Structure 1
Amino acid sequence: MSGVLPASADTGQPSPWQINLQGAASPVMESIHSFHAFLLAIIVAVVLLVLVLLIVVMVKFNEKANPVPSRTTHHTLIEVVWTVVPVLILVAIAIPSFRLLFLQLDLPKADLTVKVTGHQWYWSYEYPDNGAFTFDSLMVADADLQPGQPRLLAVDNEVVVPVNKIVRIQVTAADVIHSFALPSFGVKIDALPGRLNESWFQATKEGVYYGQCSELCGKDHAFMPIAIRVVSEADFAGWVAEAKQKFATADEPARFAQNEPVAGAVAAAR
């Protein structure tokens, strides 16, 4: 299971010189990609139209070509066009935008629930549907990185979920506001103390997918990454059996004692 790699170079984590969105690995992110391409086409068309109009004005209405300028102050057709066309453009943008928001916020029936808690500066995860075990996930320091692990993104305990299953995430925080963000899944939701927010994803490709806290939460905000490993159902069942033993509730005090020097580990990774 440890040998599973991201599905492609632009999926799961940033790539060198990347200027586009990360590759899609969920239906929501695929819709975000489509909406992004649609908006880009509209933006390019508007920019080209404005460029053409500016060139026409500069060529046709300069002092040399038009020594006697018109004194027209109103033009009904032009005023109607420049009012109606932007409204139509906004309506064309609003329809797929609302459809995408509904897709993101309308949670389907979940196959699995993962509860996420943000701390300064690491994440805790709980699997209430699979034995209610809990574990902390801390960034791997530079000195401890293994081959293939990305700097500032790799963690000691990855979240593991089955491929093609709908995963509901319940997100909260233990101290300050954090934000749980997974670009390849199209997930970004605030973690608020005393409040439980919900979102979902359905990973369509096996691999390791990385994200980060995207809410300024203190001095080590940049050092609390997220890593989700997507595996087959059989591998997930095997991992759950191991995790129940590894992260047994009885070991909780020792687990927290072991992770006490969080600041030291983060400082070593800088």
Structure 2
Amino acid sequence: MILRSLECRFLTIALCDAAEPWQLGSQDAATPMMQGIIDLHHDIFFFLILILVFVSRMLVRALWHFNEQTNPIPQRIVHGTTIEIIRTIFPSVIPLFIAIPSFALLYSMDGVLVDPAITIKAIGHQWYRS
């Protein structure tokens, strides 16, 4: 009896996801296109976190090495060839990693509907006075 009641309740729940009040982030994807958009968002956010961690580390390192109270004699940095190479190469490589999935998603959105179920024509007038 109880099992049958639970079965009826859980099998009749519609599996449609809707936005909730004060929801953070997007709702679950209903189409493969939206899933691609969400995946692209996650990929870009990953690179954002990498950049944030790298810049924060460099800032803390610079504040530590050139602080007069904690380090009265600052370290001598004569050549920064490695950091210059990293600061030049990474900003040019990161957009390439972002562009590849972005172009794939853009070209997948280019498909034209062959026979739409409904078409809507909307006409509007800006600053229209009659």
Q: Which residue of 2 aligns with 1:117?
A: 121
Determine if contact 1:60/1:66 at 8 Å carries over to the other structure. no
Pair 1:85–1:71, CA change in 2 (3 A): closer
Determine if contact 2:29/2:35 at 8 Å carries over to the other structure. yes
Q: Which residue of 1 aligns with 2:36?
A: 31
C-alpha distance in 1 between matches for 2:72 and 2:98:
39
Determine if contact 2:67/2:74 at 8 Å carries over to the other structure. no
Runs (4 or more) in structure 1 with deviation over 3 Å come to: 68-72, 109-113
Q: Which residue of 1 aligns with 2:3?
A: none
Secondary structure of 1:114's counterpart equals coil
Secondary structure of 2:121's counterpart equals strand
Q: Which residue of 1 aligns with 2:124?
A: 175
Summarize deviations over 1:32-51 as a string: whole Å, max 9, x none. 11111111111112112211
Q: Which residue of 2 aligns with 1:44?
A: 49
C-alpha distance in 2 between matches for 1:66 and 1:116:
73
Pair 1:17–1:7, CA change in 2 (3 A): same
Instruction: After TM superposition, give the deviation of residue 23 of structure 1 in Å.
Output: 2.2
Name stretches of at least 5 consecutive residues in structure 2 with no aligned partner: 1-13
Note the 1:1-270 alignment, pairs <5 A. Answer: 7-8=16-17, 11=18, 14-64=19-69, 65-68=71-74, 70=76, 72=78, 75-107=80-112, 110=114, 112-118=116-122, 174-176=123-125
> Number of paired residues?
114
State the TM-score, normalizing by the size of structure 1. 0.37
Name stretches of at least 5 consecutive residues in structure 1 with no aligned partner: 119-173, 177-216, 219-270
Determine if contact 2:65/2:74 at 8 Å carries over to the other structure. no
Secondary structure of 1:115's counterpart equals coil
Summarize deviations over 1:208-251 as a string: whole Å, max 9, x none. xxxxxxxxx78xxxxxxxxxxxxxxxxxxxxxxxxxxxxxxxxx
Larger CA Rg, structure 1 vs 2 = 2
Secondary structure of 2:118's counterpart equals strand
Determine if contact 1:39/1:93 at 8 Å carries over to the other structure. yes
State the TM-score, normalizing by the size of structure 2. 0.72
More helix by percentage: 2
Q: How much identity, in percent, do the aligned residues show?
A: 27
Pair 1:28–1:68, CA change in 2 (3 A): closer
C-alpha distance in 1 between matches for 2:35 and 2:64:
44
Q: Which residue of 1 aligns with 2:10?
A: none
C-alpha distance in 2 between matches for 1:20 and 1:93:
20
